[in-house]
Homo-oligomer: A and B are copies of this chain.
Amino acid sequence: MDKIRYFGDRISQLIGALDFQKEPPELYDPIAYTMNQGGKRLRPLLTLLACDLFGGNIEKALYPALSIEVFHNFTLVHDDIMDKAPLRRGKETVFKKWNPDIAILAGDTMFALAYTYALKTDAEIVPEILTVFSKAAIEVCEGQQYDMNFEQLQSVSIEDYINMIRLKTAVLLGASLEIGAICARANTEDVRNLYNFGIELGIAFQLKDDLLDVYGDTETFGKFKGGDIAANKKTYLFLKALEKAGPEQRDQLQYWFSQPSDRDVELKINSVKSIFDSIGVQAITEEIMTGYFERSLGFLSRVEAKTEQKKDLVEFATRLFNRTH
């Protein structure tokens, strides 16, 4: 626990010390704005925890960890343009506060910056780190494309949905861990197991996100409750509800999800939620999510490291799993 906090502080310090007072300010101000907005810093923490798991020197993993966080924030800046999202972490998104052109270019710059940070470690591990990083980056883009495709599709299978969130969300968690392990010169099998731990955990993490949008106990950062329903997002809950629904509920779900997001939004959210409730999608999703979580711990248990050193990763994963917002 203390270690998690210490690693978190190191990352925050590193991000806080980044100098974006550069020319032209039209380019760097949105980058500073994005990087200073906080967020869970989940991915760099995973990198440091993975490095530490194998007794690696976390100083060698700090910049690679930062690199992943900058990359992640870049994807958010571009995703927000595509999703036309006005808010992120309770603040205006870059494309809203400035404009889409600035958001495109600031994002591109952040992507390039991410690579410059990834290079700041021992030269001998740079090729391996960047191979993992670039593969994940491509997969994240593929995931985002599937996500956009799904908006246009009438029907999406649960399998396709899981594959989408694997690409869009889970592979970057996997890569964060893998890169940390590489920094500690872990062996190939351990790296593989740790990566798979991240994949399963990442899918569980996204299912939790889907759940919290409807069943979270409070408003989440920058998103209002039921935001996914309002935006006609085909989340796991929606797809599972559609699968389990009788003909009438099915018609109702499809009716509501064909409505624009700005009309009768409260009525819409309440109506959809009551269908979800009557079908029991919360319990079903929790069960599936628990399966992914448990499989993730299974992969972690196969990693060759002392139980003592795994404690932090297990605790961190459990906290993600149990979070209420």
Contact = CB atoms under 8 A, between A and B. Distances in A.
B108 A119 contact: no
A130 to B, nearest CB: 6
A116 B112 CA distance: 13
A144 B107 CA distance: 13
A269 interface: no
A23 B167 CA distance: 12
Contact of A141 (B108, B126, B134, B148): B108
B109 A141 contact: yes
Interface stretch (A97-105, A230-238, A239-247, A316-324): A97-105
A323 B142 CA distance: 40
Nearest to A138: B112
A115 to B, nearest CB: 4
A78 interface: yes
Given A112-B134, A116-B131, A130-B126, A145 B24 contact: yes
A130 B119 contact: yes
A137 interface: yes
Interface string A108-133: 11011101100100011011001101
What is the oligomeric copy number? 2
A149 B104 contact: no
Contacts of A113: 134, 138
Interface string A193-214: 0000000000000000000000
A183 B217 CA distance: 57
Interface of A: 23-24, 26-27, 75, 78, 81-82, 100-101, 104-105, 107-109, 111-113, 115-116, 119, 123-124, 126-127, 130-131, 133-135, 137-138, 141-142, 144-146, 148-149
15 contacts: A23-B142, A24-B145, A75-B108, A78-B105, A81-B100, A82-B105, A104-B104, A108-B108, A109-B138, A111-B111, A115-B134, A119-B127, A119-B130, A119-B134, A127-B127
Given A27-B145, A105-B148, 13 more contacts: A24-B149, A82-B101, A82-B105, A101-B148, A104-B104, A105-B141, A108-B137, A109-B141, A112-B134, A112-B138, A113-B134, A115-B133, A119-B134
